[in-house]
Amino acid sequence: MSERLEDIAARMMTAGKGLLAADESTATIKKRFDTIGLESTETSRRDYRQMLLTADEAMRESISGVILYEETLFQAASDGRTLAEIIVAAGAVPGIKVDTGAKPMALFPGETVTEGLDGLAARLAKYYAAGARFAKWRAALAVSDTLPSFGAIKANAHALARYAALCQQAGIVPIVEPEVLMDGEPGNHTIERSEAVTEETLRITFEELADQRVSLEGMILKPSMVIDGRKARRASVQEVAERTLRVLKRTVPAAVPGIAFLSGGQSTEEATAHLSAMNAMGPLPWALTFSYGRALQTEALEAWGGRPENIAAGKRAFSHRARMCSLAARGKWTK
């Protein structure tokens, strides 16, 4: 019999652990590799992900699940094992990004709707067979004085709920990710505006999840934090933590087993500090942890620099940041 959704979610939310988002699309990982002057090829992408997934200390102590991109799920490591097998051997759960990207939304200038529902049931069956036990779908909402519109929030929330229902039917735990962008355009919104938009977005998302009969016990929420826009940053760690928790308490039912934040363009240290501050304000109704991409990887990518002789240094950098995030997931990180 397949493992219950609640049990998979519980493994993903193991105390003191969190998720590594290594699911950059081919276009996004190229941007990351550009920062170290490395060409993005199937092999360089494989080598980089293999370095992260074989960082034993990080994987054993701090990482409960890894989100992969489709190419990586089916890719073999240099020793012939699939990367998904390496994740399982480390005691973590393999996951897969299944949306096909945020696309311009018809009749809604400046806004996007995330696509990928057509044919998703068949793809999920294929991913399950390859070992994936959770999935991710990201909606992206840009903030200005007037955006996001109700129509864009609603369309994205509906797609998230349809995706989540398909996942649960396939025995896969859906990560529901409605990202309120801090680094979108124009990027100068206040933290008050972020709070209002995040609250409305989460409220509509949970309404749609209920309408589509999604089991709250069998899903994980991946939200952005309540934070001022990239060009307007002034809120303190305490303020980000307080406002984020206030919104989550208002909108996320206690039946949801866990919340795993994205880092969304925060610096590595900010993302760690904010998570720790929130956990220190517990007890909370749900597990509160990380599902970071950039905040977990930036230092490792720089330390590696695309050079085989730097693999050990890359693993050390990743293990260090994963340990800091793990402390933050327990509310125990200090500078």
- Selected binder of ligand 13P within 294, 318, 319, 327 (CB under 6 A): 294
- Both tokens of 296, joined, read 């977990």
222 catalytically annotated: yes
- Selected binder of ligand 13P within 69, 286, 292, 304 (CB under 6 A): 292
Binding mask 20-39 for ligand 13P (x = CB under 6 A): -x-x----------------
Of the residues 24, 70, 111, 177, which is catalytic?
177
Q: Which is nearer to ligand 13P, 21 or 59 (CB)?
A: 21
Binding mask 179-218 for ligand 13P (x = CB under 6 A): ----------------------------------------
Shortest approach of ligand 13P to residue 34 CB, angstroms?
Answer: 15
Shortest approach of ligand 13P to residue 1 CB, angstroms?
Answer: 30
- Selected binder of ligand 13P within 199, 264, 272, 328 (CB under 6 A): 264
Question: 281 in helix, strand or coil?
Answer: coil
195 catalytically annotated: no
- Is 293 near ligand 13P (CB under 6 A)? yes
- Is 223 near ligand 13P (CB under 6 A)? no
Question: 267 in helix, strand or coil?
Answer: coil
Which residue bears the tokens 């990518």?
301
β-pair partners for 19: 65, 291
β-pair partners for 48: none
CA neighbor of 326 nearest in space, from 276, 285, 261: 276
**Binding piece for ligand 13P, criterion CB under 6 A, among 58-66, 81-89, 287-295, 308-316:** 287-295
Please give the full DSSP string across 142-209, using - where no structure is assigned.
Answer: --SSS-S-HHHHHHHHHHHHHHHHHHHHTT-EEEEEEEE-SSSSS----HHHHHHHHHHHHHHHHHHH
**Binding piece for ligand 13P, criterion CB under 6 A, among 213-221, 239-247, 257-265, 325-333:** 257-265
Q: Which is nearer to ligand 13P, 31 or 307 (CB)?
A: 31
**Binding piece for ligand 13P, criterion CB under 6 A, among 37-45, 122-130, 260-268, 302-310:** 260-268
> Going by C-beta distance under 8 Å and a sequence separation of 6 or more, which residues neighbour residue 100?
114, 115, 116
The strand ranges marked E within 53-160 are 63-68, 93-97, 102-104, 112-114, 134-141
> Going by C-beta distance under 8 Å and a sequence separation of 6 or more, which residues neighbour residue 77?
46, 50, 53, 54, 83, 86
Identity of residue 205 = T
Residue 10 and residue 257 in contact, taking contact as beta carbons nearer than 8 Å: yes
- Is 300 near ligand 13P (CB under 6 A)? no
- Is 303 near ligand 13P (CB under 6 A)? no
**Binding piece for ligand 13P, criterion CB under 6 A, among 211-219, 238-246, 261-269, 277-285:** 261-269
Identity of residue 91 = G
Cα 321 from Cα 299, distance rounded (Å): 8
- Is 159 near ligand 13P (CB under 6 A)? no
Shortest approach of ligand 13P to residue 318 CB, angstroms?
Answer: 14
Shortest approach of ligand 13P to residue 21 CB, angstroms?
Answer: 3
Of the residues 17, 97, 136, 222, which is catalytic?
222
- Is 295 near ligand 13P (CB under 6 A)? yes
Shortest approach of ligand 13P to residue 23 CB, angstroms?
Answer: 6
> Beta 93-97 vs 134-141: how paired, if at all?
parallel
> Going by C-beta distance under 8 Å and a sequence separation of 6 or more, which residues neighbour residue 327?
276, 333
- Is 274 near ligand 13P (CB under 6 A)? no
Cα 243 from Cα 256, distance rounded (Å): 20
Show which residues are catalytic.
177, 222
Provide the binding-site residues for ligand 13P, judged by CB under 6 A: 21, 23, 138, 177, 262-264, 292-295
